Amino acid sequence: MDPNRLAALLGTAAEILDEASAPFIAGHRADSAVRKQGNDFATEVDLAIERQVVRALTEGTGIGVHGEEFGGEPIDSELVWVLDPIDGTFNYAAGSPMAAILLGLLANGEPVAGLTWLPFMGQRYTALVNGPLYNNGEALPQLGSPTLADSIVGIQTFNIDSRGRFPGRYRAQVLANLSRECSRVRMHGATGVDLAYVAGGILGAAISFGHHIWDHAAGVALVRAAGGIVTDLAGEPWTVESKSALAAAPGVHQRMLEIVKAAGSPEDYL
């Protein structure tokens, strides 16, 4: 893809997310509006921001959007924006600042641009596929090679009794194994925030047991642009079909993968 066009698309998208930040901030602690699967929900602000951003992106870039709340263009389109209007909805509704707007651009299924806005934190992460990573317009250095023991690691929240692809007891074992080497594990409750913080060097690694493309598209682009590594929990390169994600700095990823694999097969915990 032409680098100049890609840069122009990123600039347009950044302006659109800047405009969406005002209603995002104004709607903090919004009530539940739409009950989703399990105990998940969307707020009225989720719905309004998605409508606003989808309309602006379609008009401003001519590229369709696949959003968390309303769906849209297929993710295997030649070009498609992937939007999560509020990552960390429970945080957002409860008043926590750990919430973000996530926007990734996929080209034939590959993340080529990522934008993660944390309006309450004043952080705006952007990157194109070949880097560098920017925060508020300032280029950040490529990720180094820290040790796991010296890193902060993000991991998703979970219910110990949950079943499914990655049962709660499997996740607990991964956490237990990790705790023996890293005593700085964090549960932020927002996958996209974790991935952006890996890219920015705040976290050394992050584990996602989820598969939703809107949680990952932007962050994968950011981490890769910063020189990080993103695979699934089996160690295969992350794709839009992946059912999990392990993002880390180069010096941490392999050790994280070994710790995850030491937990055994998720099916053994059903």
Positions at the binding site:
68, 84, 86-87, 215
Instruction: Determine what percent of the chain falls in helix, strand and coil, rounding each to the nearest 5.
Output: 35, 25, 40
Q: Length of the chain in residues, anyone?
A: 270
- Identify how many contiguous H helices and E strands the chain contains and give both numbers: 7, 15
Q: Which of 210, 245, 211, 209 is nearest to 228 (CA)?
A: 245
Contact in structure between 38 and 128 (CB atoms under 8 Å): no
Cβ(131)–Cβ(183) under 8 Å? no
Instruction: Dump strand ranges (E) for 36-76.
Output: 41-43, 65-67, 71-72
Cα–Cα distance measured from residue 64 to residue 54, given in angstroms and rounded to the nearest whole number: 8
Which amino acid appears at position 211 of this protein?
Answer: H
State both tokens at 97: 């600042």
What residues form the annotated binding site for Mg(2+)? 68, 84, 86-87, 215
